[in-house]
Chains A and B, each alone.
Chain A
């Protein structure tokens, strides 16, 4: 297990290096001069522009800039506007602070949104999926299946505004206005403010997890070893929960890991819809403001999350399936 974690961590570092290189060259190769933006069009003289470029550190060739960026991650970096301690993901000139500080400010919102939402959709999705698989072919199964099919074809940008219009700004306000209050300050307000975003986020995911859990469980129930368990005289519940359920964990954990990783990287649309100051919203803001260092930092952070959860998922495989040996 230790060897596996070590090997995968090294692999993850390589993957992150590649991702950082690709995003770096992509961002800095686009024909948009940050110095010009900082100056304002037609205000700076060429000499002034050169000074600004130098201050931003963009007067050097791109590979050299990338080198500085990488060194900054491990050793910290000094900008004319201030010091950026390691791990330095760049410096945002727009708000005059290291990128990482802003990311860490926004992170609790995203983490709260993700953990609450994931808890709801995991419990509901797997619950409904099990129920439908247990009573497959019944009316209940058909209702659950069709409902999840309809809901899973919904989109957050449709469901979110709809929920806002009806449940918050409707004739009767049923849900409180979505907002982010830090858990450490006001736990109850934290809960109230995130309730609707959780439910909207969870609705679509619940539908998907219901469908997936039902399908994999039914598939597992047709496995040979499940039939063997029945032939041994095991009760229906034992067959279902001890044998079929165990086998369906692999696909569920796989998808859940990917979903969780990308949600931690920022639920862009959800955060934007409910104006929650999380990482997803930060990414969108950075794009509209051409804040390249910030965008780069958010991207790298999201990539880190996805890579991290992939490792966790792989480690879970070994716990679920004894045939998977980690080395």
Chain B
């Protein structure tokens, strides 16, 4: 595999030059470059690689302004995996597409900061974003059948970003595509490289999608429900593949999913989203074994567990998510919350918006002690 830095130096892209130079000053040891070792592999520095601060994404529609993401903050450390969990419409995909600047600017207002290695992407120009997309930040989409072009061969689609970002020739891009197809576990990549997506099975398509995303060795990979459209056995294979490739490429991953099972399998940290906001964050262990927010409790109760009692009824969360057109003030989960009466002065749930603290914590009016007692006494027995 070609090292990113080496290829960027050799590449014809003039855009590549400043970033490359910046990195050169970052690691003064020129030896790292010569050996081809990833200079930024070790996450020794404390500053997060990606830092999203108070992100707000609003869509102007005919019915009014939809607050799809409403004050979202999170960090992703280099080489780590953040799982973002939430139901449909919680804003998880919208927020991540905002990182890549994929929204139509004519109808979208984005405020806040998206800092990628200190550079604010919300103010970056289109050319700069084009250089970042597929190069430093890549994305995998949910349905690989519709997300791959039916009109171009798999090999061409995989090689395309390599040609654009690395200035590779047609031949080099093809060789690279074959190499990547091999890495993602497609048998006979030399024969399959000229196939069209419809000649691939669902799992193979998602593998090809992953190959395409990783072709330029990005620092961040956003995987938007990459296993939702696949059957269960293939899901596990794809998740294992992602973990494996993360080791090899050293990319950070944002795993967007509605499935806590997926999160527990691949993530280091978890962010739970509800109605355009983050409601709980922590490490996977913390969030799955000692969840604090009633919404997270609801997610866990509604999920079957392989180790638990088969006869345990699954408890859905009552009600539906609020409209994002005119979200009421206060806690967005309050109307569906089974524990709001436990809050001292439950009316504050309707008037005050609970804040999500930095680090481990949740956005809830219940006190930490209440959260612990309620979880142990009323929620945990249902999960067993």
Contacts and interface: CB of A to CB of B under 8 A. Distances in A.
Interface string A224-237: 11111111111110
A228 B149 CA distance: 8
Contact of A228 (B106, B131, B148): B148
B150 A231 contact: no
B165 A233 contact: yes
A231 B141 CA distance: 10
Nearest to A320: B151
Nearest to B161: A232
B196 A234 contact: no
A231 B134 CA distance: 6
A196 B198 CA distance: 47
B219 to A, nearest CB: 14
Given A322-B198, A323-B196, A323-B198, A231 B151 contact: no
DSSP class of A's interface residues: helix, strand, loop or mixed? helix
A236 B198 CA distance: 26
B285 to A, nearest CB: 32
A59 interface: no
Contact of B138 (A226, A232, A246, A320): A232
B132 interface: yes
A322 B160 contact: no
B130 interface: yes
A247 interface: yes
Contacts of A322: 150-151, 196, 198
A243 interface: yes
Given A227-B102, A322-B198, A323-B196, A233 B131 contact: yes
A78 interface: no
A223 interface: yes
Nearest to B107: A137
B132 A233 contact: yes
A231 to B, nearest CB: 4
A19 B135 CA distance: 59
A243 B150 CA distance: 9
Interface residues of A, number: 23
B134 A232 contact: yes
A243 B147 CA distance: 12
Nearest to A224: B146
B102 A231 contact: yes
B207 interface: no
A137 B165 contact: no
Interface string B202-225: 000000010010000000000000
Contacts of A226: 149
B141 A233 contact: no
A231 B138 contact: yes
A285 interface: no
A229 B132 CA distance: 13
B149 A243 contact: yes
B212 A224 contact: no
Interface string A307-327: 000000000000011110000
Nearest to B156: A242
Nearest to A221: B104
A137 B164 CA distance: 29
Contacts of A232: 133-134, 138, 160-161, 164, 212
Instruction: Identify the 7 closest CB pairs spanning chains A and B, nearest first.
Output: A233-B133, A233-B134, A232-B134, A224-B146, A225-B149, A231-B139, A232-B161
24 contacts: A224-B147, A225-B148, A226-B149, A228-B141, A228-B209, A230-B102, A230-B133, A231-B100, A231-B139, A232-B134, A232-B160, A232-B164, A233-B131, A233-B165, A234-B134, A234-B161, A235-B130, A235-B164, A242-B152, A243-B151, A246-B151, A321-B150, A322-B151, A323-B196
Given A228-B147, A231-B139, 7 more contacts: A226-B149, A230-B133, A232-B161, A233-B165, A243-B149, A247-B151, A323-B196
Interface of B: 100, 102, 106, 126, 130-135, 138-139, 141, 143, 146-152, 160-161, 164-165, 196, 198, 209, 212
